[in-house]
Chain A
Amino acid sequence: MKLRARQPYTGIPRWVSGLAVLSALVVVLPLVAIVARVNWANFIPLVTSESALDALGLSLRTSAASTLLCIVLGVPLALVLARGSFPFQRLLRSLVLLPLVLPPVVGGLALLYTFGRQGLLGGALQVLGIQIAFSTTAVVLAQTFVALPFLVVSLEGALRIGGQKYEAVAATLGAPPGVVFRRVTLPLILPGLASGAVLSFARSLGEFGATLTFAGSLQGVTRTLPLEIYLQRETDPDAAVALSLVLVAVAVAVVALAYGRPGGLQRQGPAPWGGSSRRPTTPGAAGGTVR
């Protein structure tokens, strides 16, 4: 690794670079393997079969819906977690992040015992005539459950970096909380919100376990792309591989959309004029004080 002209000194040891290459391979190689296995001759028919298109359409629709739900529910939650102060706040934060580490099947079971017929809310929902299990709503709920932490985490990060200085100034300028939220907080966290939404969408798109456990699997209703891939694998590995590639492509497109732009989503830091460089301002500059 020669220092190229104009490239500043990085200070990265060679073995670190080596391991970095290795870690990139860990991610890239399996993707390459998928591409290598694609039956290109039949690719188009495979991914445009009725069941495949149903699954793709369902996946996109439900992921969009759950992302929207994540935003509606996640923004207030992140705000309260980042800026509020109430008992059991830390506990709540840990609990909210739980779906990140929970096996999806556990998530599915938890949802089942919440919204299912015999679940916590099952009775109430039945009275209202709402059946969630085996419906597209169940898919959206499962996706929201697993994707919400992604939105909350990235938003909370943005909120913490920004601090509350702008909000405080806005308030002293006469803006009531609602106006501060709409005209100051929201625009400031927009980059964090966008990246959080993208992550949530991507996570929703890949959601499998909770959906399988909670929502079931029926073409056009609850069988999302991952479930379709899982099913196709039983009989038609070529179709499964082709659909996997479609899912990978959609995911890559989404992530690229979010992170690919130069500077995209990275504007979360303090403003560039960043006046936090406080000049040393001790009164001792003046003179012979006895202190």
Chain B
Amino acid sequence: MKRGVTTAVAALVLAAGLAGCAGSSAPAGSAGTSSDDAATTLTVFAAASLKSSFTELAETFEAQHPGTRVSLSFAGSSDLATQITQGAPADVFASADTKNMDKVTVAGLAEGEPRVFATNTLAIAVPAGNPARVTGFQDLARDGLRLVTCAKQVPCGAAAATVADKAGVTLRPVSEENAVTDVLGKVTSGEADAGLVYVTDVKSAGGRVDSIPFPEAGAAVNSYPIAALSGAKNQEAAKAFINLVLGSDGQQVLAKAGFGAGGQ
């Protein structure tokens, strides 16, 4: 009897392990969430930069749709896209770039065309008080100035490269970070003299960093697409949430956070 139980437990765990392993190639449905409250829960995967805006919008949505709870998951867009293609149970995906949204649409997991709901442009973040006296984009190439950017492999780094290219400035950052939050962290801690981040990041950092806008930023405008996912258990709620984001309420909240209006 005891042996039977042990064997069963072993088999179960083993099976779970194998299923997780196989899941990587075949994006099967759920990976073990209880479906009981799926009818009343809307799961939104959103890029990390959307945290404050989407938290506020989720509250608005819950107020407008009593009985529906919005569950938010924030992470880097590529992490989220990977999770979705691996079968994570999300209803809505809001990406910080079109590239990661493309991964989801190519996999056939998006319901309808993704719609751009916001844009974001780069800004120069400097430690409060601007100790290195950075006045414009040209200053970033100055000798001895400790500049931190994103790595070219991530969207904010790609944008920085585009802007630098257009402006004819050669940037020599002391560090190329994986995430815009890491860039911001180096600036807020004072380790870096300047960092290239998004306008919204500077906003969210509050008074700990100062922002220096620069006209060259217009060369790289980052679009944020949003889409309902085909695996969504609650298509109606997913569509309603997207409409909220695209509507005037949503746009107002996003503008407050520093986002530009979505071109749709």
Q: Do chains A and B touch in the complex (CB under 8 A)?
A: yes
Interface residues of A (CB under 8 A from B): 14-15, 18-19, 21-22, 25, 29, 33, 36-37, 112-113, 116-118, 133-134, 212-213, 215-219, 222-223, 227, 230-236
Could you say which residues of chain A place their CB within 8 Å of the CB of B148? 134, 216
Which of A113, A217, A232 makes the CB contact (< 8 A) with B176?
A: A217
Tell me whether A218 and B176 are in contact (CB under 8 A): yes
Picked from B6, B21, B186, B190, the residue with its CB within 8 Å of the CB of A15 is B6
Give the docked Cα–Cα distance between A217 and B185 (Å): 13
Residues facing A in B157-191 (CB within 8 A) are 173-178, 182, 185-186, 189-191
Q: Give chain B residues whose Cβ lies under 8 Å from the Cβ of A235.
A: 153
Who on chain A is nearest to B148 by CB? A216
Counted as pairs of residues, one from A and one from B, with CB atoms less than 8 Å apart, the total is 78
Contacts A18-B7, A112-B189, A133-B191 given: A33-B78 contact, CB under 8 Å?
A: no
Nearest Cβ on chain B to A43's Cβ, whole angstroms: 18
Contact of A116 among B173, B182, B191 (CB under 8 A): B191
13 A-B pairs (CB sep. < 8 Å): A15-B2, A18-B10, A22-B13, A112-B189, A113-B189, A116-B191, A213-B182, A216-B177, A217-B176, A234-B151, A234-B153, A234-B154, A235-B153
Query: In the bound complex, how far is the Cα of B153 from the Cα of A112, in angstroms?
Result: 25
Nearest CB in chain B: distance from A133 CB, A: 5
Whether A217 lies near B178 (C-beta < 8 A) is yes
The residue among B3, B154, B176, B191 with the most chain A CB atoms within 10 A of its own CB is B191
CB distance from B243 to the nearest CB of A (A): 31
SS class of chain A's interface: helix, strand, loop or mixed? helix
A29 touches B17 (CB 8 A): yes
Partner of B10, one of A22, A215, A232, A234: A22
A25 vs B186: C-alpha distance when bound (angstroms): 40
B179 to chain A, nearest CB (A): 9
Contacts of A25 in B (CB 8 A): 14, 17
- Inter-chain CA distance A227–B182, complex, in Å, is 13
A49 CB to nearest chain B CB (Å) = 13
In the complex, A128 Cα to B13 Cα: how many Å? 57
A223 to B174, CA, bound (A): 11
Q: Which 10 A-B pairs have the closest CB atoms?
A: A216-B175, A134-B174, A235-B153, A234-B153, A118-B190, A133-B191, A15-B6, A218-B175, A18-B6, A234-B78
Question: At the interface, yes or no: B60 with Cβ under 8 Å from chain A?
Answer: no
Residues of chain A within 8 A of B51, CB atoms compared: none
- Cβ-based interface call for B24 (8 A): yes
Interface residue? B69 (CB, 8 A):
no
| Shortest distance from the beta carbon of A205 to any chain B beta carbon, whole Å | 19
Residue contact A230 to B13, C-beta cutoff 8 Å: no
| B191, closest chain A residue (CB) | A133
**Least distance between A40 CB and chain B CB atoms (Å):** 16
Contacts of A222 in B (CB 8 A): 175
A222 to B6: give the CA distance in the assembly, Å.
48
Name, among A216, A227, A236, the residue most crowded by chain B CB atoms within 10 Å (CB to CB). A216
CA–CA, A12 and B164, complex, Å? 66
B208 interfacial contact with A, CB 8 Å: no
Q: Is A217 a contact of B175 with CB atoms below 8 Å?
A: yes
Give bound CA distance, A232 to B151, whole Å.
10
- A11, B231: Cα distance in complex, Å: 51
Contacts of A216 in B (CB 8 A): 148, 174-177, 186
- A37-B191 in contact (CB<8A): no
Excluding A33-B21, A235-B153, 7 further A-B contacts by CB distance (< 8 Å) are: A21-B10, A29-B21, A113-B189, A118-B190, A216-B174, A216-B186, A217-B178
